[in-house]
Chain A
Amino acid sequence: MSTMAFLKRSPWILHYDASSCNGCDIEVLACLTPLYDVERFGIINTGNPKHADILLITGGINAQNREVVENIYEQIPEPKVVIAVGACAATGGVFRECYNIVGGIDKVIPVDVYVPGCAARPEQIIDGVVKALGILEEKRGKMAGAARTKEEARHAEQAGEST
């Protein structure tokens, strides 16, 4: 469809706290404060997966929230990317041996960007989001390409039928 690529200028984020100690969450919120002001890049923290482009998760997956993470991921319209923020989100971190921890986010849903740190610093988080934008744009291109091929195939099929 469009080649304007508005997507990377308007990434809306859904922030989900899987089982974080709240350390990373505070840093994520710090990004919204006047000091970092991510709205400069059009980034908005929405509370709604149906509006989101980027799923930003802190903390590791546990037995309770596994389904929730899957469900939220499912509800975000394509194209979408997942950012795992902090050590726990990447691997389970210091909690990885806990009886209820499954592990990092990638145990349940595909993760596109890992932001390291315990806790991750705001600069790093912003950096991770910017990196995600590239991937998001790539996915959009693929999606548009796939839609075009599909459309062309449909047209070809119709043309074939009519002849």
Chain B
Amino acid sequence: MQTLLFLILFPILVACLLLFVKRTTLRYAVVALSALVIGGASIYLLMRYAFEGAVYFAAPSEAVSLAMVAIEMGLALFIVYMGAKFRNYLAIVLAVVQAALVVYLETTFSENLHAVNNLFIDQFSIIMGLIIGIIGSLIAVYAVRYMETYHHHHPEVRDRQKMFFFVIFIFLAAMFGLVFSNNLMWVFFFWEITTITSFLLIGYSETEEATKNAFLALVMNLLGGVAFVVALIFLAATEATSGGIDLARVLASSDAAIVLIPAVLIGFAGITKAALMPFSSWLLGAMVAPTPVSALLHSSTMVKAGVYILVRFSPVFAGTFAGFSIGLVGGVTFVVASAIAISQSNAKRVLAYSTIANLGLIAACAGVGTHMLVWAAILLIVFHAVAKSLLFLGTGAIEHRVGSRDIEDMEGLIVRMPRMAVMMFIGIAGMFLAPFGMLISKWAAIEAFVQVPFGLVFIALLAYGSAITVFFWAKWMGKLIAVTRNQEKVEKGFFEEPWAPLYIITGLVVATVLLFPVISSTLIEPYVLAIYGVTARLAEANVAIMLLMMALLLILPVSFTLFRRSAKHLPAYMSGRTATTDLQFTGSLGLTREAQTRNYYLAEYFGEAKLFLPGAVVCTVLILASWVLAGVAL
């Protein structure tokens, strides 16, 4: 238990310390050191608890719970203040409603708000802990140098780095708390903290757009928060049968119909946090935040809290129409968000849409909730966190060197920033190619959906969705590796330190594939086994083939040395026009022109304007349907 408490409390300590650190070098030292400690502690957690199954801890309750309520009230006041300052009355209304509901809950059902064990850990929590502890702290390390350069590039933005890193570490603590809490009141508390930290970090640059988007994120997440409290009230009111606010008891409850209602409400909170449609707009808006924020909160960890809670409740969803409906929200989001990603040329927006799409896929697995799907969902969480954080950090590094985050401007990156390009290449491959992680999970998901009644709907969504996914990733990859000529190499001179996290995460992308059988057998399979009594895994022969493919991919670059360097180099064919190697040619009237290539974005067919509304409408209907279905089941 000490490790759990340490992981929650230590980042808070570091956060407070960072409030007083002004110099970048010192800050770097503090952040790097604490990242090492946090990463080490999460690995210790793995070694200590990996083989123990679920372990519960009583942990101090009364005082802590009281403090949490006090902090929640304080946060509500803060939101009211900010809402008044920026005239966002919807945020005020939601914060007040939520606070009122919490007070109601605390006063009316105070005797029902006791969990036997407040903290717990099982294999799923370990996985989440590793993601937060390793990926999260690496991103924090990267952020130090990034923010320095950021302020260099944006002198107009007020330097609030002390606040920035304070919030980042508070966020890490909250995430640890969220995944280790067995008391749903605690989960809710940490949930609200992540909402606030997200709000603060999105609004970091204090521009009008940033503030607007920060409030958008706040309002949507508060909406989820309200649903969460309602679920808590319901649970407290039906404590006898549902198990109250004790997560383990709720999940073990024999009255499935009673538990389904809070599960759907908490699922709704998960949907808002995971930015599934129709709430996807807040995540897109959040892209105005500095890139490390996008990587940490809006891709690899915070939004994962949304799907974490969905996966936690998936035994409750399994086999119910309400769960199926929630799964469909995810499935539709997967297809629509992937399709919209085709039409985007801004790298961060592509990443955002792809994140939404993948969270949708995880939600689809969690909503349907058979044992194989839960296995696939957890794998998706792992692989997505690793590969996506790499892509975000890479995009940030490229933006600082190239001066643009447009994919078209990344053309020929393999010439200009070869190391960066290779890392991005691996990251993108991790998102959609065999034998990398995401694909393993999609594969498992297809195999699982086949065995589910009406699973064909999901198969269809997956089939179209993954075809679309191939298109937008491959064309980005193509841009990166186009061998352009006469381009200046701009890799040198970038700070060396930010590269270290990038190297490590790149290594992790490859390592997760190589180690995936181990990850699956030591962490995911026991978890699934403990809950469902059966477990899922890929056939050993297939695993061997995947490893063979990975080995081939690692060996193939050696072939570069075999190609004759003496091969004659000719410029590209330009219909007989004499062209220089950088595609300059003499056009009509003797003018020198440059041939340029641009990717297809097919906005006419896959544009945001065309697809967002239908997707949002369908998902809204499905969410409402999930409530109705849960109600009917009661």
Q: Which residues does A use to contact B, with CB under 8 Å?
A: 16, 48-50, 65, 67-72, 74-75, 77
Contacts and interface: CB of A to CB of B under 8 A. Distances in A.
B568 interface: yes
A68 B573 CA distance: 11
Interface residues of B, number: 7
Closest 4 CB pairs of A and B: A68-B576, A71-B578, A72-B576, A67-B578
B591 to A, nearest CB: 15
A48 B578 contact: no
Nearest to B571: A75
Contact of B570 (A68, A69, A75): A75
Interface in B505-542: none
B577 A68 contact: yes
12 contacts: A16-B576, A48-B573, A49-B573, A50-B570, A65-B576, A67-B577, A67-B578, A68-B577, A69-B576, A71-B577, A71-B578, A74-B570
Main secondary structure of the interface of B (DSSP, over half): loop
Taking each of B574, B576, B577, B578, which has the highest tally of chain A beta carbons within 10 Å of its own beta carbon? B576
A48 B573 CA distance: 8
A11 to B, nearest CB: 20
A77 B574 CA distance: 16
Interface of B: 568, 570, 573-574, 576-578
Contacts of B573: 48-50, 75
Nearest to A69: B576
Which of B573, B574, B577, B578 has most A Cβ within 10 Å? Answer: B573
B593 to A, nearest CB: 15
Contacts of B576: 16, 49, 65, 68-69, 71-72
A77 B568 contact: yes
A67 B585 CA distance: 12
Contacts of B577: 67-68, 71
B601 to A, nearest CB: 28
B587 to A, nearest CB: 13
B570 to A, nearest CB: 6
Nearest to A78: B568
Contacts of A50: 570, 573
Scoring A16, A67, A71, A72 by chain B CB atoms within 10 A of each residue's CB, the highest score goes to A71
A68 B578 CA distance: 7
Contacts of B574: 71
Nearest to B575: A68
A71 B579 CA distance: 9
Nearest to A49: B573
Nearest to A75: B570
A72 B576 CA distance: 5
Contacts of B578: 67-68, 70-71
Contacts of A48: 573
Nearest to A70: B578
B590 to A, nearest CB: 12
A18 to B, nearest CB: 11
A135 B573 CA distance: 26
A28 to B, nearest CB: 17
Given A16-B576, A71-B576, A75-B570, 11 more contacts: A49-B573, A49-B576, A50-B570, A65-B576, A67-B578, A68-B576, A68-B577, A68-B578, A71-B577, A72-B576, A74-B570
A70 B578 CA distance: 9
A67 B590 CA distance: 13
A55 B296 CA distance: 59
Nearest to A50: B573
A80 to B, nearest CB: 12
Contacts of A77: 568
Nearest to A65: B576
A77 B573 CA distance: 13
B543 to A, nearest CB: 42
Contacts of A65: 576
A48 B568 CA distance: 17
B64 to A, nearest CB: 72
Contacts of A75: 570, 573
A150 B570 CA distance: 22
A92 B578 CA distance: 23
Contacts of B568: 77
Contacts of A74: 570
A50 B577 CA distance: 14
A71 B572 CA distance: 11
Contacts of B570: 50, 74-75
A50 B574 CA distance: 11
Nearest to B574: A71
